[in-house]
Each structure stands twice: as structure tokens, then as C-alpha cells.
Structure 1
Amino acid sequence: MAAAGVVLVTGASRGLGATIARTLAADGWTVAVNYRNGAGAAREVADGIRAAGGTAAVFEADVTDEASVAALVAAVTEQLGPVTALVANATGPQPEVAVEDLTWDDHLGQLLFFVKSPTLLVRAALPAMRAAGRGRVVLVGSDMTDRALPGWSAYVAAKAAQIGLARTWARELGPHGVTVNVVAPGWVPVERHADVPASAVQAYAAEVPLRRIGRPDDVAGAVRWLLSDEAAFVTGERVTVNGGHTI
């Protein structure tokens, strides 16, 4: 499905990012596995990709820091080739904060990952995409912008801003052959949800029309399609992957 090229997946040492990296590698992409913490886990992801016949390398970088992002894209380009696809998946802490306790710093903590980081990454990768006349950008969002749960206003506001970025960038970068889309998962339990009780998972799944919890492969499949040639005429869209939970 995918055209040959180099894809940079941020936050790819575990969780959704790791599954996305493996899925794209299996589809023929050369994968830059970015991580900030967890070098061993990142190496395991890349080693697994190579063992399966794919191509991958690991790159440490803080994707919220401008100099670090510039150095990251330069290093990927030098080692693997020009970055023509970008999956902005990296995230940070996501605290639940009641409005009476909400501070501007709470907002900034979310905007750092969901507005600043994608901006830095796209700016750094854009010259190569323009030169190639083709590029793919996928921002990993959330269906929380639809659910609007109490206590999550900073997170929801930042994720809503992410949608605005994608729509505006899609219009701006379309003439250069670059598509920009958002994949918005529902709740997909990964390593950081290990302590969530089974009863909570079952209760959530009971609310989903498809009567199951989301899996990392569900999200990775949507990303895979958006990076493929079959999605070449899809841009500025938000693809919700939550089993119909927010219908």
C-alpha cells in the first residue's frame, strides 16, 4: 500500500508509537524510531523490525525542543534518507485537573506536545517533502474532543487545536503534494494503563457499539492507510478510531 520512503514516528519506543512503527515497517517504510526515554525499548522495536526483514534505526530526541527536532531530522536524513512521512505520536503526562484548579501551565503542558511539537516537526521535515513533491503528515489525536469529559479541559483544548493545525496545514501544504490528517483513537490500553482494573475496561467496552476495547493495531492500521497511495486524495481529515463510541 505504501510508497517507499522514510517515516519518522515520534514516541515510538512503546505503546501506540511502537505498534505504528512496526506496522509501517511491514508495509515497506524505512522507519526512524524516535524516543526520549527508554533507549532499550526503542532498540527492541528497531531490532524487531529488522528481524522481520524491515529497515529501522533509533533516534533519541526531545520533540518539544526546537534545536533537538532540527538535529533529529538532520540525523534521520543522514542515516536513512529524506523524511517524507511524519507520524507525530509523542505525548507527555495527561493529568486530570478540575477547572477550579486549572492553571495556564496546565494548558502549556498539553500544548507543548500537541501544538508546539507538531509545528517543529513539520517545519523541519517540510523542505524534503516539498523537494519530493510528496509528503504525509499524521497527527495522533484523541476522541476526547468529542467526549469532553470533566477535568480534561487542558487536554481537550490542546487536542482540538491539533485538529485546527491539520486542517489549516492541509490547505496550505496541499499544493506541494503534502497531506495532513489526524487519527483520533478512543481509549486504547497500552503499557501505561497496566494498573487499570479489568472492570473499568469492561465498562468502557460495554459503551462501544462494537462491544470491545480498542487495540494498538486498530490505530496503526488507520495510520498505515493515511500514509498509503490509496489515501493520496485524503487531507485535512480526522479519522476517529473508537468502535463508534462517539456516534
Structure 2
Amino acid sequence: MIGTALVTGASRGLGAVIAKRLAVEGHAVAVAYRSGTEAARGVVADIRSAGGTAEAFSADVTDESAVAELTASVSSRLGPVGILVVNATGPQPELDLEAVTWDDHLAQLAFFVKSPTLLMQAVVPTMREHGEGRIVQIGSDVLERTLPHMSAYTAAKAAQHSLTRCWARALGPFGITVNTVAPGWIPVERHAGADPESLAAYTSDVPLGRMGRPEDVAEAVAFLASPRAAFVTGERIKINGGHTLG
């Protein structure tokens, strides 16, 4: 089956490129987004103009009822979800350790623990029924970088990959693989104002000698979503050009 791919946070950035790449693989793609209706429609238009199938779906993927409505709508309009790409994210503020509050932690956990859990629970019954499925979480290499001003984000990303490992163990007997793709700094729209000196400094520490591109991440997701990765599960694949090799 495999079938329809649901990509959250897909109106822009990594999500948009991932959605387009999965459409090239022949999947109908649900472009899920919370804001940016025109951008989401643009992603759908690009997929359709290239001969693919896609529709846009607006939803708050941190809300239980909204997730239930989203997955029901996707299944009704495009077919059962066989691939789930958990990509949606929120603000990632840089905070001194003394300033971090429990609410700051909860804000990150909502996107990287609550939302993935709600989405997984919504799509897994159908995947089990068909005896196969793919779940790919978009993580981060921030775990290796241990940036002190990103402690809440880092903790949530670590928790997210722990979910991947637990789910891989639990869902493997049903033919469902679960993996994490962990990008390094991949400049997208929200980095438009990035300091050129910061970009140059980061690049100088990348063994492959360049910044990553969204397409690099999309290729890894496409592989994990495909039959080629049928025996890969519970893994965390860093897409950062070797930046965290040490």
C-alpha cells in the first residue's frame, strides 16, 4: 500500500521541499500547514504542474481534535496515510539558562512530543491494517552541538528521537518503520536575515565545505519512505555534511 504521504509544516521550508520530493516518488501528498495558506497552495500548484497529486490541509497539529480531523480529511480526499513526515515546528528562541521557564519547555514539547504522538496515534491503525507504513520525524543535529542557549529545544529534540526508538520497536512487527532525519543548519526562508559571517563560520566547520540544502534532507526522507529502506528502523540519520564529526 504505502500510499498517501502526510507532511506537516509543508507550506514552506524543509516541509515544502520534502512534499515536492515525495510527489516525484509517485505519492499523493497532503500538504499540512497551520499558517500561510497562499504558500501551501503554491506548493500544491507546483506538485500538480509537475504531474503529481496534492492537496493542502490547514490544521494545528498540536491539537488533538484538529489532528483527528486532519487525518480523516486526508484519508477521505487522497486515500489512507501510508507515510507520515513529522516536520512542523514552532519558534525556537535562544534563551539564557537562567531565563528558561517550564512554559518554554512545554512550548517545545508540544511540537516534538505531543504533536508527533497525536499524529502517530491517528495514522497507525490504518498502517497496521495494511501491514506496512513509514514514519519519519525531522529532528536536529543540535543534540551533538549542545548549545547552552537552546536547552529547551535540545531537550525536546532528544525526547522526539526517543519516541522514534520506542515506536520502531513497538511497530516493527506490523511492518511499520520509524526513523529520524536530523538536519544541521539548512538555510530556509526563516533564515533570510542570517549574518553572512555566521554562515561562513558554520561552513568552515563542515567537512564537505558547504551549507546544506533542503533537497539534501528531502532525499533522505524519500529514501526512508521508500521500499529501499524497508529494513531500516529506529535510526537517526544526520544530514549535516559531517559538521558534528568532532
Q: Normalising by structure 2, what TM-score?
A: 0.98
Kept in 1, the 8 Å contact 2:2–2:83? The answer is: no
Q: Deviations over 1:8-64 (max 9, x none)?
A: 000000000000000000111110000100000000000110000000000000000
Q: Which runs of 4+ in 1 moved over 6 A?
A: none
**Once the two structures are aligned, what percentage of the paired residues are identical?**
62
Report the counterpart of residue 30 of structure 1 in structure 2.
28
Work out the number of aligned pairs and report it: 245
* Runs (5+) with no aligned partner, structure 2: none
The alignment partner of 1:240 has SS state of: strand
* Runs (5+) with no aligned partner, structure 1: none
Q: Deviations over 1:190-216 (max 9, x none)?
A: 000001122211111111000100100
**Match among 126, 131, 145 for residue 133 of structure 1:** 131
The alignment partner of 2:233 has SS state of: coil
After superposition, residues 138-149 of structure 1 pair within 5 angstroms as 138-149=136-147
Structure 1 distance, partners of 2:181, 2:142, is 12
Report the counterpart of residue 176 of structure 1 in structure 2.
174
Structure 2 distance, partners of 1:162, 1:145, is 11
Q: Normalising by structure 1, what TM-score?
A: 0.98
The one-letter amino acid paired with 1:31 is V
**What's the offset of the Cα at 1:228?**
0.7
Q: Deviations over 1:106-142 (max 9, x none)?
A: 1000000000000000000011101110000000000
After superposition, residues 48-197 of structure 1 pair within 5 angstroms as 48-197=46-195
Q: Deviations over 1:174-227 (max 9, x none)?
A: 011000000000000000000112221111111100010010000000000000
Structure 1 distance, partners of 2:16, 2:138, is 13
Q: Deviations over 1:132-179 (max 9, x none)?
A: 100000000000011001111100000000110000000000011000
Report the counterpart of residue 204 of structure 1 in structure 2.
202
Kept in 1, the 8 Å contact 2:2–2:81? The answer is: no
The alignment partner of 1:152 has SS state of: helix
For the aligned residues, what is the CA RMSD? 0.8
**What's the offset of the Cα at 1:4?**
5.6
Report the counterpart of residue 18 of structure 1 in structure 2.
16
**Match among 5, 8, 19 for residue 7 of structure 1:** 5
Structure 1 distance, partners of 2:20, 2:64, is 27
Structure 2 distance, partners of 1:11, 1:54, is 19
